[in-house]
Amino acid sequence: MGDAGGKGAFDAIVVGAGHNGLTAAAYLARAGLQTLVLERRPVLGGACVTEELWPGFQCSRAAYVAGLVRPAVVRELGLEGHGLRFLPRDPSSFTPLPEGGGLLLGRDEQANARSIGAFSRRDAEALPRYEAMLDRIARVIEPLLDAPAPDPARPRWADLLPLARAARGALRLRRELPEALGLLLGAARPVLETWFESEPLRGTLATDALIGAFASPSSPGTGYVLFHHVMGDTGGARGVWAYVKGGMGAFSDALAAAAEAAGATLRREAPVARILVAGGRARGVELVDGSVIGARAVLSCADPQTTYLDLVDAAELPEDFVRGIAALDMRSPVVKINAALDRLPVFRGHGEGPAAGPEHRGTIHVGALDLDALEASYVAAVGGELPARPMVEMTLPSVVDDGLAPPGKHVASLFVQHVPPGLSAERWDALRPEFARTVFAMVDEVAPGFSESVLDYEVLAPPDLERIFGLRGGNIFHGAMSLDRLAFMRPLPGHGRYASPIEGLSLCGAGAHPGGGVMGACGRNAARELLRKRR
């Protein structure tokens, strides 16, 4: 198809080759639409990429684990045929303690009971019931992820079936319905304190409620964020998260291959300067180099603020819509640290030599390990300070995927929060080394000598996540997933079905329903909605 310009040269242009943009392009091209994807970076995938940061060390530079990928996306696009391979992690998490030992959780219920029983026999008995409760709620909610969110202010016939299914599922919950609503609408802390009595179990489970959110366990809405992160079934079991063979970029590579096989054109290093609008309708895009490419529809994988405040002339949009988009919460409390290691960490009470053990396979929780410490981490960030003990999730994917590092070496991914949103790039230039030392020192507490094993590292603060990956404010969800910004209210009430006030322009990224995480649902739903309108 080439780089043809002019009116109607393409049926659809996708702005941004994040995993949702690639997903949308694959579905559009499979339906016979001439589809063009434009990516400003030399690598496809947005925040879902694998990059060689140091010779021989392949890092999942931003997104680092998969667990929410919608099965329909994998199946319908034939991603396994394009090289996608998930590597389920078991055990799934390890929370080491400074005095040795720790909490090890995985798919083996008896092993979980033994590990939790060291802290509380009551909690060991409660965890299977808690997970079964989450599973029952997830079976009601999950089908709503795979379609545009029904809008009660603008109902349509197509909404009746998913709403009827959800209503039947809610009735099946019966006496659990109040508890389900408390989880979905409330804070994570009271839910976890009701179910469990011991740390570090409560702190370990609470991290799912906080990932990417500028919130504490006591913040309303964190119950839904906790639930959002257990809805995946990668590997065939609820809540099982996985690595991707070859790093997270291999998922994007499979999507790109599926899109190209269907006939889509993918262009790298082709940054879009603006979306062209005439007569209230999207007509194509203009690139930074001045070239113009026409299209009958434009889908933006960028976040809502970048799309509507930067790429579209404000005069083309209603004033109240512009104000609403400008008011979206794009704050980010996260820092991503990637590191090259010359050896595996050895945790107190877990072996002596270089061989990998079960404690290395999943997410390793370090730093703020209980609910009070997680609250304190948030409070420090609210006050504009770096917390003395932030929340850290460390993974060592090279333990199960030895192609990511040279023999005997490893890559580490450390996802850290809370940091104060709004610190400038210049301020972070001074803070990065100090902050890395703080994080590495907390790993040293449970794995002595870790700091000395670090050969090299990079610290990606919110300004870096924005500069490199285009994440406004560094927000990994394209905007807060608060209760007023979910489902038909995402990104704004009245605009939850991907379309914008401009005819032919729609969102297909995480700023739309069902939100953040490596799912592919936003791209799939947006493409299917565009195709429905064309029909």
3-state secondary structure of 82: helix
Return the number of other C-beta atoms located less than 10 Å from residue 318's C-beta.
10
Structural tokens at position 402: 């030895």
Q: In sequence order, what are the residues at sequence separation of 6 or more whose Cβ sits closer than 8 angstroms to the Cβ of residue 422?
A: 331
The DSSP secondary-structure symbol of 298 reads E
Give residue 243's identity as a one-letter amino acid code: Y
Name the phi and psi angles at 59, rounded to 5: -115, 135
Helix (H) or strand (E) holding 133: helix 121-141
Which residues are paired to 177 by β-bridges? none
Would the CA dihedral through 206, 207, 211, 217 be positive or negative?
positive
38's enclosing H/E stretch is strand 35-38
Region of 45 (left: φ > 0; alpha: ψ -120 to 50; beta: rest) is left
Q: What's the confidence (pLDDT) of residue 353?
A: 65
The confidence score (pLDDT) of residue 2 equals: 36
Question: In angstroms, rounded to a whole number, what is the distance separating the alpha carbons of residues 124 and 116?
Answer: 5
Q: Distances in Å between the alpha carbon of 443 and those of 359, 366, 380, 402, 412?
A: 14, 6, 20, 22, 12
Q: Which two tokens stand for residue 177?
A: 């319905």
Alpha helices in 244-401 (DSSP H): 249-261, 304-305, 319-326, 371-382
Per the CB < 8 A criterion, the answer to whether 96 and 347 are in contact is yes
Structural domains of the chain, ranges and CATH numbers in brackets: 10-48+67-85+247-329+477-534 (3.50.50.60), 120-237 (no CATH), 335-418+424-460 (no CATH)
Burial of residue 408 (number of CB atoms within 10 Å: 0-12, 13-18, 19+): exposed
Q: What percent of the chain is helix, strand and coil (3-state, nearest 5)?
A: 40, 20, 40
Per-residue pLDDT at 150: 85
**110: which strand partners?**
none
3-state secondary structure 485-514: HCHHHCCCCCCCCCECCCECEEECCCCCCC
pLDDT for position 140 = 82
Separation of alpha carbons 429 and 182, rounded Å: 42
Instruction: Please state the φ and ψ torsions of residue 47, each to the nearest 5 degrees.
Output: -85, 0
Q: Three-state DSSP class for 257?
A: helix
Angle made by CA atoms 162, 168, 169, in degrees to the nearest 5: 90
pTM across the whole model = 0.95
Q: By C-alpha distance, which of 77, 21, 84 is closest to 261? A: 77
For 279-324, the pLDDT digits (tens) are: 999 999 999 999 999 999 999 999 999 999 999 999 999 999 999 9
Q: Residue 50 forms beta bridges with which residues?
A: 60
CA–CA separation, 294 vs 62, rounded Å?
Answer: 32
Task: List, in order, residues 6 or more apart from 351 with CB less than 8 Å away.
Answer: 357
**Residue 286 burial by Cβ neighbours in a 10 Å radius (0-12, 13-18, 19+):** middle
User: 376 — alpha (psi -120 to 50), left (phi > 0) or beta?
Assistant: alpha
Task: In whole angstroms, give the CA distance from residue 459 to residue 414.
Answer: 9
pLDDT of the chain, 535 residues: tens digit per residue:
334 344 458 999 999 999 999 999 999 999 999 999 999 999 999 999 999 999 999 999 999 999 899 999 999 999 999 999 999 898 999 999 999 999 999 989 999 999 999 999 999 999 999 998 888 888 888 888 898 988 887 778 777 777 777 777 777 777 777 888 888 889 999 999 999 999 999 999 999 999 999 999 999 999 988 888 777 666 556 666 899 999 999 999 999 999 999 999 999 999 999 999 999 999 999 999 999 999 999 999 999 999 999 999 999 999 999 999 999 999 999 999 999 999 999 999 887 667 899 999 999 999 999 999 999 999 999 999 999 999 999 999 999 999 999 999 999 999 999 999 989 999 999 999 999 999 999 999 999 999 999 999 999 999 999 999 999 999 999 999 998 999 999 999 989 999 999 999 999 999 999 999 999 999 999 999 999 998 8
Rounded Cα distance between 160 and 460, Å, is: 44
Q: What pLDDT sits at residue 7?
A: 44
Each residue of 228-273: pLDDT tens digit?
Answer: 877 766 655 666 689 999 999 999 999 999 999 999 999 999 999 9
Give residues with Cβ within 8 angstroms of 454, minimum separation 6. 339, 340, 341, 412, 440
Four-CA torsion 330, 333, 339, 343, nearest 10 degrees: -140
Beta strands in 349-497 (DSSP E): 363-367, 391-395, 410-417, 454-460
Query: What is the rounded distance in angstroms from the CA atom of residue 502 to the CA atom of residue 167?
Result: 33
Alpha helices for 262-350 (secondary structure H): 304-305, 319-326
How far, in Å, CA of 42 to CA of 525, rounded?
26
CA distances (Å), 356 to each of 309, 352, 360, in order? 48, 10, 6
d(CA 311, CA 302): 10
